[in-house]
Amino acid sequence: MSHRIPRRILLGVPLALAAPAIVRAQGAQSAGAWPSKPVRIVVPFPPGGLVDTLARSVSQSLATRFGQPFVVDNRAGAGGNIGADLVAKSAPDGYTVLAASMGPLAVNQFIYPSMPYDTNAAFAPVTLLASTPKVICVANARPWRNLGALIAAAKEKPGQLTAGSAGSGSSLHLALELFKGATGTEIQHIPYRGAAPAVTDLIAGNIDMVIDNLPNILGHIRGNAVRPLAVATEQRLPQLPDVPTTAEAGVPGFIFGTAFGMVAPAGTPEAVIATLAEGVAAAMRDPAVGGRLAEQGTILGGQGPQAFAALIEREKRTLEPVIKRANIRAD
């Protein structure tokens, strides 16, 4: 069975089709002046992470394009739920938006016992910002030189190999569960408080493997601190041209990446959402923004609200059964 979360999905449901015509007209009129004051981009994670980097890169371009400040506001906690709840309960006028991973947009509802907002009704998708491919890496101290050898070792010693993640329910943890399902292996999950300490332990040889986002681990790969065995993508990556894809390495069913996107409170005028989405797309076309992000290992987004809405729904359908089967709960 293939676990694919495609980078581009062309199907989706246009937002707010059921809204009365007069409401749409009023929204279009108010959107004509948008933005007339600073816009807040809430990032529900601490500064310095991938979401924060994306938001700050895009915010500079948006400020130049629209002539208003786009201010990044970090509101971390509860796996992104605190910042997401703030946006969900904000006025739907386009002046408070959320930049987040799929956790608070799709996954958290399946791993937290209760949620402060309705994941399926709180937000209006704006656009995919970017996605990051996953790389399967092992410790240099281990003998495995290819993915087949790793899988063979895992099957020979069920439950004895260890894989680090950024915490229970993180994208690294979900990637591990998908990998186990695709390969028929049992590998022990070791949760950390973030991806960085997991990679630190991998470098030290304290754990066997991680399946990490490329931007997080690319520097360690280039520095020969860890050994990459495969990339979980359809094609080889330009940053790692000598590393085979999972399909080339014998596991065609495992293709997985982490998506990051922007949403607004539900009820935000369609014209505002369309204007903001086009601004993000323009930022991604700008070599000073998109080019730099691509060099770091991200796959650029900017396809608009319908494609991002469809991606969120696909993520829910793909990951809900994985989470339930593995009985994943938030730390």
Instruction: Summarize pLDDT for 242-297 with one digit per residue, the tens.
Output: 999 999 999 998 999 999 999 999 999 999 999 999 999 999 999 989 888 888 88
DSSP β-ladder status, 39-43 and 162-165? unpaired
225 and 266 assigned to the same domain: no
Is 190 among the domain residues? yes
Is 104 among the domain residues? yes
Assign residue 312 the CATH number of its domain. Answer: 3.40.190.150
Judge contact between 43 and 87, C-beta under 8 A.
no
163 and 221 assigned to the same domain: yes
98 and 179 assigned to the same domain: no
Residue 169 has pLDDT above 60, yes or no: yes
Domain that holds residue 206: 132-231
Residue 56 has pLDDT above 80, yes or no: yes
Q: Which helix (H) or strand (E) holds 99?
A: strand 96-101
215 and 141 assigned to the same domain: yes
Percent of the chain surpassing pLDDT 70:
90
Q: Band of the pLDDT at 330, cuts 50, 70, 90?
A: confident
270 and 319 assigned to the same domain: yes
174 and 223 assigned to the same domain: yes
Assign residue 165 the CATH number of its domain. Answer: 3.40.190.10
Is 138 among the domain residues? yes
127 and 263 assigned to the same domain: yes
Q: Which helix (H) or strand (E) holds 129?
A: strand 123-139
Count how many domains the chain has. Answer: 2
Is the pTM higher than 0.85? The answer reads no
Instruction: Summarize pLDDT for 139-151 with one digit per residue, the tens.
Output: 999 999 999 999 9
88 and 167 assigned to the same domain: no
DSSP class per residue in 34-89? --SS-EEEEESS-TTSHHHHHHHHHHHHHHHHHSS-EEEEE---GGGHHHHHHHHT
Instruction: Summarize pLDDT for 191-247 with one digit per residue, the tens.
Output: 998 888 999 999 999 999 999 999 999 999 999 999 999 999 999 999 999 999 999
97 and 160 assigned to the same domain: no
66 and 206 assigned to the same domain: no
Is 141 among the domain residues? yes
Least trusted range by pLDDT, from 24-38, 48-62, 311-325: 24-38
127 and 270 assigned to the same domain: yes
